[in-house]
Amino acid sequence: MITNFEQLEQDMASTPSFDGQLAKLVHLTNSNGMSVSFMDIGATWLSCSIPVNEEAREVLLRSPNMAEHMEQNAYFGAIVGRFANRIAKGQFELEGKRYQLGVNNGENSLHGGVEGFDKKRWSIVEQSAQKVVFTLHTKDGDQGYPGNLGVKVTYSLTDDNQVSISYEANTDKTCPVNLTNHAYFNLAGEASGSKSLDHVLQLSSGHYLPTDQGLIPTGEIKAVKDTSFDFSHAKLIGRDFLTESDQKMAGGYDHAFVFQPEVTDGESVAAVLVAPAKEVVMKVKTTKPAIQFYSGNFLAGTPGKSKNYELYDGLCLETQYFPDGPNKPEWGANRGLLKSGELYQHQTVYQFEF
């Protein structure tokens, strides 16, 4: 019988990627029978298999093969950057200079632009049974961003079923830097047919960022109380779905939720996702000030591992700075600017209970 990792190798590492070379895959396992797989293209989290009722359950969405992976614009499992999420019109001003980024989402720049970190080949610099370290260097001017940037991303799988993602970066010029992982979760299983709307979500957040038609934050930091965005207590995602104009513009949830500051210590539980049948729970811990909760509103027709995905077949919980931060000086430290000589250092943990 073919193993999950052998299947991944066949699907993702048997035909050339963007640069004409084959992808390199890394497989980590822990003592509980949980396994996670990554590839050097995009430092992508390809697979997360957990044992549920003595059966391996894949809880991440992905492309069926490398050819489709290169065509998709869902960013399945990739590290996205330099700046995750949207920057209005792909423009910002820093230290008196105007910068123009590649525009790839309507009139805006999304997830680093036309050739973001998701499309680049990262170097695997360290690897063991339960850890892998990827690095990437991008030059001053790449995709329009200032500064030579060095990035290091470390994935670890612990014996208490935590997938830990540690981020480091440094630059020689002040630059917007906002790194996240764009995994799509379906805790019922990638092929289950369950929807993001069937999951229960809790977010330690009292505010969210409303957006305009282009999904750029308006600048308002709005209280979730008495809105459909209130996940301060565990709630079925589908309960208040598409009930307000802020959601209808986005086709669902595709918004940044601002964490209560006390839960951004990297150790407190900031978000909890519960599978439809409640047999799997995922807890998120992070040092980031916000999380982009995206309910899978643009998935329709995207070729996936088990089928062509439909709307809401998976959801993302992307820890990050505030979207369009470079254009919102009033947001202060939450803008996501890294200065020369400073070290960007963040961690996000996805802990699975099953």
Active site residues: 182, 318
Dist CA 325 CA 327 (whole Å): 5
Burial class of residue 247 (count of CB atoms within 10 Å of its CB; 0-12, 13-18, 19+)? buried
8 A C-beta contact, residue 277 and residue 162: no
Helix (H) or strand (E) holding 265: none
**Best CA proximity match to 194, nearest among 58, 23, 335:** 58
Q: Which residues contact 88 (CB under 8 A, 6 or more apart)?
A: 108, 214, 216, 324, 327
Q: Which residues contact 108 (CB under 8 A, 6 or more apart)?
A: 86, 87, 88, 89, 90, 214, 215, 216
Strands 91-94 and 205-208: unpaired
- Which residues on adjacent β-strands are paired with residue 132? 127, 155
Within 10 angstroms of residue 333's Cβ, the number of other Cβ atoms is 10
